[in-house]
């Protein structure tokens, strides 16, 4: 729990801002956590999605900015890096780091149990499971306990 909190805090604090001229990418954001519908991976032409326990990450070095995945996500969790919602800029660093740690996913799998209930829950970042064996801070909380 402590390790995940520390990692999430470090990624939040180190979130880069996009600068003119830098390579663009798309970014998976907060609302994917505990939903993980995976419709997005079916349309990615370069297999840039990587799967963790309750979230997907886009590899910014592989993403070609085709935008196809944006419309496929039923919970509107994917944004261009220049258009990430305010307060979610940390997900640029989170995607970049976790994409290096997690395996590629290229085929759709069933959504997470209760995904429809997690859609739209705010501030799910403390629930992000890095898959390193430790539990997320709020692993036992259900959708009703996450608000
Ligand atoms: Fe997540 Fe949406 Fe893809 S919920 S797994 S970004 S389809």
The tens digit of pLDDT for each residue in 30-60 reads 999 999 999 999 999 999 999 999 999 999 9
**CA triple 108-58-101, angle to 5 deg:** 95
**Over the Cα atoms of the chain, what is R_g?**
14
- CATH of segment(s) 2-112: 3.30.70.20
Residue segments in the chain with a per-residue pLDDT below the cut of 50:
1-5, 11, 13-21, 139-140, 145-147
pLDDT of residue 15: 45
Question: Rounded distance, CA 3 to CA 40, Å?
Answer: 29
Q: Which atom of ligand 1 is nearest to the CA of 35?
A: 4
Query: Which of 32, 80, 106, 117 to mutate for ligand 1's pocket (most ligand atoms within 8 Å of CB)?
Result: 32
Which residues contact ligand 1 via a Cβ below 6 A? 28, 32, 35-40, 56, 72-73, 75, 77-78
Q: For residue 133, how many other CB atoms are within 10 A of its CB? A: 7
- Global model pTM greater than 0.85: no
The residue nearest atom 7 of ligand 1, judged by CA position, is 73
């Amino acid at each position: 729990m402590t390790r995940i909190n520390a990692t999430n805090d470090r990624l939040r604090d180190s979130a880069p801002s996009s600068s003119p001229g830098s390579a663009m990418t798309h970014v998976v954001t907060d609302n994917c956590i505990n939903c993980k519908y995976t419709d997005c991976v079916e349309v990615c032409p370069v297999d840039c999605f990587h799967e963790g326990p309750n979230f997907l990450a886009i590899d910014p070095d592989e993403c070609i900015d085709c935008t196809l995945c944006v419309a496929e996500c039923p919970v509107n969790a994917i944004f261009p890096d220049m258009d990430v919602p305010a307060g979610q800029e940390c997900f640029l660093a989170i995607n970049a780091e976790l994409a290096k740690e997690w395996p590629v996913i290229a085929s759709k799998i069933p959504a997470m149990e209760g995904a429809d209930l997690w859609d739209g829950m705010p501030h799910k970042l403390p629930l992000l499971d890095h898959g390193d064996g430790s539990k997320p801070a709020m692993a036992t909380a259900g959708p009703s306990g996450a608000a």
